[in-house]
Structure 1
Amino acid sequence: MKTIAIIGGGITGVTTAYALAKRGFKVTLLERHRYAAMETSFANGGQLSASNAEVWNHSGTIVKGLKWMLKNDAPLLVNPKPSWHKLSWFAEFIAAIPHYRDNTIATAKLAVAARQHLFSWADEEGIDFDLKREGILHIYRNREGFERAAEVSKLLALGGLPRRAVTPEEMRAIEPTLAGQYYGGHYTESDSSGDIHKFTTGLAQAAQRLGVELRFGQRVTAMHADATGATVTVEQDGGDDTSRYDAVVVCAGTASRAMASMLGDHVNVYPVKGYSITVHLDDAASQAAAPNVSLLDDATKLVCSRLGEDRFRVAGTAEFNGFNRDIRADRIAPLLNWVQQCFPGVSTRNVTPWAGLRPMTPDLMPRVGRGKAPTVFYNTGHGHLGWTLSAATADIIAETVLSALGAPCSNVGQRTAQALKMA
């Protein structure tokens, strides 16, 4: 039986482990934390949002970023302190602007393809993750934002995703608890929401039942690969432990750049910090006043999702500040203010703040495919759509590994692979 090492125990690592185990591989997952899904997959916005497939490589993003640069509470914040990594990333980001249309369509196709895998896995394994299949409503306060979203909807339609415009009256019928004045909205009935941490930990347990070895507290310190396999060294109990595998798949999130460097590859993933708050709905009034439909506010770049009866998640913003994981009060404040404005009946007395680093490539397309060595593979760089895309990219990379190690691809993997250019 072929042995595969997976580096990283977040959503992409766990879905990859599961997809490979289903194909008969002997899989070992190496994660530096004590549990799965303890970094970016811990407390995101909770959306499975094909409707948010638009990539950021647009001239308007550059203009907004420059305008917001000196505002601490801006949706997009860039630390002006230069670094080679940051400068090279932004240079590639700008170079990818001509591919905005094609990449948005490709991402939408991939997100649609991911749904069938994720829902079928959850059903098959009996994973409860507070799933709500009530759609996602994008809200707009002015005509300019609403009409620009209509153009994005055309691209999403080309990717196989229907999204319809709705009036303010229709918006309130979709989500009656939403307060405020709006020009209009765009509603995607086929989108959904849930708890990424619950899903990832549940799937990790399912992968373990399939024979995946979950090794936690494993910090990878060295890797080497050649035509015959890959060697991975981890720091364990104060010493080094080295193991040999037939192949390695890097699913290490923001650490993927450093991991790829060990293997002689360049993976330009930058850590883009996002914040969230989990509002604990401790009283009946707050539970009644919180939304059931997941929302995205384009002006503030915030999303929200209802997680069961007693939790409400609000997340968003983008901060380019290296590997800084500080939870800043001035970045949490806009999330609290948004709740008070849009859902004034929800108490924010009991709130848990969080910050995580999104692994983003310059063109916002995940790196899914082979490395330079024939035994090295990557499934990383999913940015703000890690959960949304993970089931499809796991299927793609599992089929790629299967093919590389001498077995034919299945039709399912071939169909899914068409949605993404292989790196």
Structure 2
Amino acid sequence: MHILVLGAGVVGTTTAWFLQKQGHQVTVVDRQNKAALETSYANGGQISVSHAEPWANPSAPLKVLKWLTRPDAPLLFRPRLDPAQWRWALSFLGQCTSARAAHNIRQMVNLGTYSRGQLQALREETGIEYDHLEKGILHFYTNPAEFEAAMEPTRLMQELGCDRQVIDSARAIELEPALKPIRHRIAGATYTSEDESGDARKFTQNLAQRCADAGVTFRYGTRILGFEQASERILGVQTLNEGRHETLRADAYVLSLGSFSAALARQLGIYLNIYPAKGYSITVPVKNEEAAFNVSLTDDEYKLVFSRLGDRIRVAGTAELSGYSRRLNYTRCRAIVRRTAEVMPEAGHWDQAEFWAGLRPATPSNVPYIGKSHYANLYLNTGHGTLGWTHSCGSAAALADIIDGRTPEVDFAFSRL
């Protein structure tokens, strides 16, 4: 079967990989001139099953209200005359109950655990390199209230098989000595030894090359304009490349366009509650090897993740719900530098920070859309929010099974829209 994958980010590229492994002819279409040049370009780098507490939880509404007037807030909502933004926000509030948060944690832990295993198998099979480290992820807390609030989600994750251990500050420093500058401020921590980190862009671009070597066709520099359809089937995808219009046809289609999936799906009468959450990152060269970290870190109070990518440090996080602009807000960039330099002042050349912003395709629940649409030959693999890198291989493997009529090997609420 010929399958057209729309999007060459980490989710679309892994989808192409798993589909070609199952014998399909695959074409990938993307407006950029290379894979992973948008949301997958400079993300936080974590393969983090333990990062499964959704933004929408019982404490979120009050926090968001407190943060409304703070330009450097971890989660910043900038109201716009945009019905999609307000629908998303209202749905987000509906997800902020204990019951919904527990349900969503279950979805994300199950998918994350499965996905991490699929990534490990892919890495063993291909020998792919992407500055990966298998040293676990350590969540540290400098606010006692934040640490206490993390206990219930941690318990739920443990019940689901995520080995997220609760540890004290002494054990945190033992695991990652780079935290010594703030050792007296650490109220507590958790550690998940099986979690990993790595450069999502390197992974995606190297995997795209392996896909091409295996016969996958990549149509870069190609804008997707819309669909041709008849009854309940997609007949083709209308595209524009260097001023030339063309309709690309296949037997089946996979929508993996991140934050831009929702607008395209609306043309087909499919409503995806996805809104762009602009995230920021800094990338800096290591300054002092002894002061730099190797265990990937999460600063839950400030919503930042730290990954070591070879001789570089990547720190990413925060979320800004303000539309589709990727323009840098330097107040938010400097806030990341300020907090990171406070945590480990000698680790990196903080004055050489390279800033980046990307649009994460966020759902109100943080749970992605994976599965079938009501069109017989259109499938969804989108809306992964902050966990696209974590969930990519599992989402792709599961969707490949769905397309081939098999039941995926993961307990997850797959979509039927």
- How do residues 18-417 of structure 1 correspond to structure 2 at under 5 angstroms? 18-98=17-97, 99-178=100-179, 179-180=181-182, 181-226=185-230, 227=232, 229-281=234-286, 283=287, 286-308=288-310, 310-346=311-347, 347-403=349-405, 409=406, 414-416=408-410
| 1:271-310 alpha-carbon deviations (Å, 9 max, x no partner) | 00000000112x4xx23211111111111111101101x1
Aligned identity (percent) is 38
1:90: Cα distance to partner? 1.0
| Structure 1 gap segments, 5+ residues each | 404-408
User: What SS does the corresponding residue of 1:50 show, helix, strand or coil?
Assistant: coil
**Given that residues 110 and 420 in structure 1 are in contact (C-alpha distance below 8 angstroms), is that contact kept between their aligned partners in structure 2?**
no
Q: CA deviation at 1:92?
A: 1.5
Q: Structure 1 length as normaliser, TM-score?
A: 0.94
Question: What per-residue deviation string (whole Å, max 9, x for no partner) do you get for residues 233-290 of structure 1?
Answer: 1101212011221111000001101121223311121000000000112x4xx23211
User: Please, what TM-score do these two structures have when normalized by structure 2?
Assistant: 0.95
Aligned to 1:421: 414
SS of corresponding position for 1:137: strand
The Cα shift of 1:414 comes to 2.7
SS of the residue aligned with 1:268? coil
Question: Separation in 1 of the partners of 2:297 and 2:96?
Answer: 27
Compute the displacement of 1:352 (Å): 0.7
Letter in 2 for 1:145: E
User: 1:319 and 1:268 mapped to 2: Cα distance?
Assistant: 17
Residue 88 of structure 1, CA deviation: 0.5
Task: Give the distance between the partners of 1:303 and 1:85, measured in 2 at CA.
Answer: 28
What's the CA shift string for 1:56-111, capped at 9, x where partnerless? Answer: 22131111011001111111111123310110111111223341111111210110
3-state SS of paired residue (1:419) = coil
Q: How many residues align?
A: 409
SS at match of 1:399: helix
CA contact (8 A) 2:228 2:235 kept: yes
Amino acid in structure 1 at the alignment position of 2:151: A
Mapped contact 2:61–2:96 kept (Cα < 8 A): no
SS of residue in 1 equivalent to 2:283:
strand
Secondary structure at the counterpart of residue 240 of structure 1: strand
Q: Distance in 2 between matches of 1:156 and 1:274?
A: 25
Offset of residue 143 of structure 1: 2.5
Superimposed CA distance per residue, residues 123-173 of structure 1 (whole angstroms, 9 cap, x where no aligned partner): 212211111111111111233221221211111112220111111111110
- Asked if structure 1 preserves the Cα contact closer than 8 Å seen for 2:10 and 2:36, the reply is yes
For the residues of structure 1 that align with 2:273 and 2:187, how far apart are their CA atoms? 39
For 1:247, the aligned partner's letter is A
Check whether the contact 1:233–1:243 (CA below 8 A) recurs between aligned residues.
yes
Q: Judge conservation of contact 1:149–1:186 (CA < 8 Å) in 2.
A: no
Q: CA deviation at 1:228?
A: 5.5
2-structure distance, mates of 1:421, 1:289: 44
Shift of 1:358: 0.3
CA distance in 1, matches of 2:40, 2:408: 27
Deviation at 1:380, TM superposition (A): 0.1
* Separation in 2, partners of 1:323, 1:297: 26
The CA distance in 2 between the partners of 1:357 and 1:203, in whole Å, is: 22
Runs of 4+ in 1 over 6 A off after TM superposition: none
Partner residue of 1:406? Answer: none
Q: In the alignment, residue 390 of structure 1 is paired with which amino acid?
A: S
SS in 2 for 1:289: coil
For structure 2, the 5+ residue unaligned runs are none
Q: Structure 2: how far apart are the matches of 1:237 and 1:52?
A: 41
Instruction: For 1:83, give the aligned amino acid.
Output: D
**Residues 140-149 or 185-194, more deviating:** 140-149
Distance 1:351 1:143 in 2: 30
What is the distance in 2 between the residues matched to 1:125 and 1:275? 31
For residues 322 and 106 of structure 1, the distance between their equivalents in structure 2, rounded to whole angstroms, comes to: 27
Residues 106, 159 of structure 1: 8 Å contact kept: no
CA distance in 1, matches of 2:109, 2:74: 23
CA–CA separation in structure 2 for the residues paired with 1:259 and 1:148? 38
8 Å CA contact 1:225, 1:375 repeated in 2: no
State the Cα distance separating 1:229 from its structure 2 match: 4.7
C-alpha distance in structure 2 between counterparts of 1:27 and 1:420, whole Å: 26
Quote the Cα distance in structure 1 between the aligned partners of 2:354 and 2:234: 44
Q: What is the rounded CA distance, in whole Å, between the counterparts of 2:43 and 2:258 in structure 1?
A: 14
Deviation (angstroms), 1:365 = 0.9
